[in-house]
Amino acid sequence: MHSRRSIAPASPCLAGGANMETMEEIRTNTRVDCSDGACGHSIYLIMNPLTDQLTHVVVQTGGLFPEDRLVPLSEVVSATAEAIKLRCTKAQLNKMPHFRYVEYTRMEIPHMHSMPLVGWPYVTAMEDETYAVEQMNVPPNELAVRRGMRVEAKDGAVGRVDEFLVDPKSGHITHLVLREGHLWGQKDICIPVTAIGEMDEDVVHIKLSRQEIEALPHIRIRRRTG
């Protein structure tokens, strides 16, 4: 039986009417604990933009040679502002798929020469060069999102992503939360997922104007640190 995922001290938030008692905070740049101790920190969240469902958390392990592991959401026991707790052990985490990997690509490049009596260089035999290209192991049709991504309304930038609120029963994202650096000062701004338009690797586009975001109804998120 899955334990209930924690949510957390009351703080004001603007959002679209969901019951925040059932929501959990999932964020990046947060400590991650396995069942047998601290194991690293979260660096990306993987979501399906078509279904608005969070599917994985990318965990960067600690140590001299850190590795990024792709952890399914089913391994998350609880999440607070301070830590994400996993049900797996450190050994099990280290057997999960790598998030980053390197592909080596060979390219043929013409070798250029010039002759003293010829003013234009000419091409001789092709030379092979090998290049290392880092790739991200993002499942098909899904998207890697991170804290600090730019958020833009219909009429301009409004802030940056701080976290997502997730329904722990379904794994569906319900709200995007803006924090420091947005237009409305220190208040939490919760934007319902239904207002999210297109997303790419750098920007989340909101289908509302700045005025419409400011007019979203007040509700409260209950947060618990630790």
User: What would the pLDDT profile of 72-89 be if each residue is shown by its tens digit?
Assistant: 999 999 998 789 999 999
CATH (domain of 90): 2.30.30.240
Per the domain annotation, does 59 fall within a domain? yes
Q: How far apart are the first and last CA of the chain?
A: 22
Per the domain annotation, does 23 fall within a domain? no
The whole-number pLDDT of residue 137 equals: 78
- Lowest pLDDT segment from 12-21, 24-33, 97-106, 111-120: 12-21
Residue 43 pLDDT level (bands cut at 50, 70, 90): very high
Per the domain annotation, does 80 fall within a domain? yes
The whole-number pLDDT of residue 204 equals: 92
- Examine the pLDDT at 135 and tell me if it is beyond 90: no
- Examine the pLDDT at 188 and tell me if it is beyond 90: no
Per the domain annotation, does 74 fall within a domain? yes
Domain that holds residue 79: 28-100
- Examine the pLDDT at 187 and tell me if it is beyond 70: no
The whole-number pLDDT of residue 139 equals: 83
The whole-number pLDDT of residue 24 equals: 74
Between 2 and 100, residue with greater pLDDT: 100
Burial class of residue 42 in the structure, from the number of CB atoms within 10 Å of its CB (0-12 exposed, 13-18 middle, 19+ buried)? buried
Whole-model pTM? 0.69
Per the domain annotation, does 91 fall within a domain? yes
CB 83 within 8 A of CB 31: yes
The whole-number pLDDT of residue 13 equals: 46
Per the domain annotation, does 63 fall within a domain? yes
Residue 71 pLDDT level (bands cut at 50, 70, 90): very high
What is the residue-averaged pLDDT of the chain?
A: 76
Per the domain annotation, does 47 fall within a domain? yes
The whole-number pLDDT of residue 77 equals: 92
CB 45 within 8 A of CB 101: no
- Examine the pLDDT at 152 and tell me if it is beyond 90: yes
CB 68 within 8 A of CB 138: no
Per the domain annotation, does 75 fall within a domain? yes
Q: Characterise 213 by phi-psi region: left (phi > 0), alpha (psi -120 to 50), beta (else).
A: alpha
Farthest-apart Cα atoms in the chain, separation: 82
Number of structural domains in the chain: 1
Residue 64 pLDDT level (bands cut at 50, 70, 90): confident
The average pLDDT across 141-153 equals 88
- Examine the pLDDT at 3 and tell me if it is beyond 60: no
Q: What is the pLDDT of residues 91-130, one digit of tens each?
A: 999 999 999 866 666 665 555 555 555 555 555 555 556 6
Between 18 and 143, residue with greater pLDDT: 143
